[in-house]
Amino acid sequence: MSQVNYLWWKHGVLYHLYVRSFYDSNDDGIGDLQGVIEKLDYIKDLGFSGIWLSPVFKSPMFDFGYDISDYYSIDSQYGTMDNFKQLLNESRRRGLYIILDIAVNHTSQLHPWFIESSSSANNLKRNWYIWKKGKWIGPPNNWITGFFQSAWKYDCVTKEYYLHSFLKNQPDLNWRNVEVQDEFVKIFKFWMDLGVSGFRLDMVNWLIKDKEFRDNPSRFFFKIFQKQIYNKNNNKIFPILKMIRKLFDQYPESVTIGEVFTMPPGDPELSAFYMGNGQDSLHMAFDFSMMYRFWNARLIFKTVSRWIHAVGENGWPVHVLSNHDQKRSFSRFCRGKHKFQKAKVLATLFLTLPGTPIVYYGEELGMKSIGLKKKDIVDPLGLKFWPLYNGRDSSRTPMKWNSQKNAGFSNSEKTWLPVDADYETSNVMIQKKNPDSLLNYYKELISLRNKNQALHRGKWKVHIDGKEGIIAYFRTYINESILVVLNLKNKSSKIKSSPEGALKVLFSTHLEKSTILPDQDFILMRPMEATIYSCLTSQYQTQ
């Protein structure tokens, strides 16, 4: 990019890559780092600027890498440190930046820190984790995990309970302990000195707990339904976030992205809260609201608008439609016979909003969350709650590269998760050859975004706010003005035209590029149409 002050994580488009499912280079059924290296050209060709890797640290894999047993090494399932260094070098050579996903709220129970901490009540690392004596009967308080069980596990050796906000195999770190904070500064420095450009901080809103360990208030008189006000979202986290930001500011162009997890319907103001004043805390934070929505223009617009306004002028929003924990966007939004038209309209919205879009691997193909048999489930959440909930595996299935065995993901007899049965008719190779495919649509749209500063750094001005199934807005930057118009209905509609005069088609699902609409009162929108116009004001016409 030759644009002035271009920043890869801010003005580019990022790719969220679940390593286990991307490409298996050694035919053991599990994706690996060498597989990512072999597919870097695919990622670069689509126009992405950076890659967010799911956790690759050493782990016993009770939660597939979100239970880390060594923060300074690569898990052997994914390769070696040499493989990782090669990935950094090959990515840098292509102008791609690497973001690592790291669990900061907890470690594995097999981490040497916890083994020491649990060995004795007087161990020097005892206070690295959260230990408490129980009440006269039972655990210290009523806190529950994401699995709707007590968040406390009794230890027979030291006769105290340790806190685990998730699996019992994932004991919570004590982030009030300065030694823990100092150790993570070392961890971040270690990887950034190697060439890593950023971190996605897992479950960052759980880091600080109530100092008095008060009971959470119950909902509906049931212990398992709680208002989780004491075990997370504590504002005492800000000194820690500021410390982390101060470190990252020493590494030009680096980025921190916080996972601020919330249950439906989402909480954009809470996510924005973790970015502080835009300069002193997280660079970006995830808002989950869009991942809890369905196909409704007014609702989608209100969700997007609320998030952008929550972040404010000093912050920078990040947009996601799917991730490794949630149902894929294609399965949520794109149902019925117009599913691919819907996917294109949704992609146009997603890639033209102010902020940074992160595309989850396979989203560019229209990959969906698939139904899995119980025998194929490996996610601990799915195993516990089957058949009411089949877990997160359905959104983590292998990437579909071609029509060959296992969709070209692996030559193994058995892959770690099943491949979607439609891989013979929908995969990268097939979609590459089809000029009207969703894959090529993403590629063209990302290219357009990268080339037009108004789309990746311009101001946002609403034109139509989702009423009657239409969303339209302007993106403006210096002397560029672009109008994005989206029809989420399966019928034609007339909308008021741009007040800036004639329009030239830059990109469209229905219209030929370079088509010029003269200055007129109305624009005809065809069913499921997405069109991006350049506003041809007199200023443009004279240049």
What pLDDT, in 10s, does the model give residues 476-528? 999 899 999 999 999 999 998 877 779 999 999 999 999 999 888 889 999 99
Query: Considering just the CA atoms, what is the radius of gyration of the chain in Å?
Result: 24
- Other Cβ atoms less than 10 A from the Cβ of 195: the count is 15
The pLDDT of 202-224, averaged and rounded, is 88
The rounded percent of the chain whose pLDDT value lies above 90 is: 90
The pLDDT of 133-148, averaged and rounded, is 91
Reported as a single tens digit per residue, the pLDDT across 33-81 is 999 999 999 999 999 999 999 999 999 999 999 999 999 999 999 999 9
Q: How distant, in Å, are the alpha carbons of 200, 229, 277, 291, 303 from that of 103? A: 9, 21, 24, 21, 28
The Cα–Cα gap between 507 and 501 comes to 18
Burial class (CB in 10 A: 0-12, 13-18, 19+), 389: exposed
* E runs forming strands in 133-253: 152-155, 160-163, 198-202, 218-219, 222-226
**Do the beta carbons of residue 54 and residue 172 sit within 8 Å?**
no
User: According to the model, what pLDDT value does residue 541 have?
Assistant: 37
CA torsion 534-440-286-18 (nearest 10°) is -160
The Cα–Cα gap between 499 and 169 comes to 59
DSSP string, 430-470: HHHH-TTSHHHHHHHHHHHHHH-HHHHH-EEEEEEESGGGE
- Other Cβ atoms less than 10 A from the Cβ of 374: the count is 10
User: Nearest CA to 129 among 184, 166, 171?
Assistant: 171
Place of tokens 């869009």: 290
User: Nearest CA to 433 among 399, 402, 398?
Assistant: 402
DSSP string, 173-199: B-TTSHHHHHHHHHHHHHHHHHT--EE
Reported as a single tens digit per residue, the pLDDT across 389-417 is 899 999 999 999 999 999 999 999 999 99
Residues assigned a catalytic role: 202, 259
- pLDDT of residue 219 exceeding 80: no
**Do the beta carbons of residue 312 and residue 444 sit within 8 Å?**
no
Which spans in 260-385 are helix H? 268-273, 297-311, 329-333, 339-350, 380-385
Q: Which long-range contacts (CB under 8 A, 24 or more apart) does 68-74 make?
A: 68/102, 68/103, 68/107, 68/108, 68/111, 69/107, 69/108, 69/110, 69/111, 69/112, 70/111, 70/112, 71/102, 71/187, 72/187, 72/190, 74/33
Burial class (CB in 10 A: 0-12, 13-18, 19+), 471: buried
Task: Give 4's pLDDT tier (boundaries 50, 70, 90).
Answer: low
At 388, is the secondary structure helix, strand, or coil?
coil
User: According to the model, what pLDDT value does residue 175 have?
Assistant: 98
**Do the beta carbons of residue 514 and residue 504 sit within 8 Å?**
yes
**Do the beta carbons of residue 536 and residue 510 sit within 8 Å?**
no
User: According to the model, what pLDDT value does residue 221 have?
Assistant: 61
**Do the beta carbons of residue 12 and residue 447 sit within 8 Å?**
no
User: According to the model, what pLDDT value does residue 1 have?
Assistant: 39
- pLDDT of residue 301 exceeding 50: yes
The Cα–Cα gap between 430 and 238 comes to 49
User: Nearest CA to 447 among 13, 5, 7?
Assistant: 13
Give me 146's structure tokens. 């994401």
Q: Which residue has the higher pLDDT, 500 or 384?
A: 384
∠ CA 281-287-291, rounded to 5°? 160
Give me 261's structure tokens. 């997890």
User: Nearest CA to 345 among 455, 510, 481, 534?
Assistant: 510
User: According to the model, what pLDDT value does residue 104 have?
Assistant: 98
Sign of torsion over alpha carbons 240, 246, 248, 254: positive
The Cα–Cα gap between 391 and 378 comes to 9
Q: How distant, in Å, are the alpha carbons of 225, 280, 387 from that of 274? A: 25, 10, 35
- pLDDT of residue 188 exceeding 80: yes
At 405, is the secondary structure helix, strand, or coil?
helix
Q: Which residue has the higher pLDDT, 146 or 450?
A: 450
- pLDDT of residue 542 exceeding 50: no
The rounded percent of the chain whose pLDDT value lies above 70 is: 97
The Cα–Cα gap between 232 and 147 comes to 16
Contacts of 281 (CB under 8 A, 6+ apart): 238, 241, 242, 245, 274, 275
The Cα–Cα gap between 68 and 75 comes to 9
User: According to the model, what pLDDT value does residue 456 have?
Assistant: 97
The pLDDT of 371-382, averaged and rounded, is 95
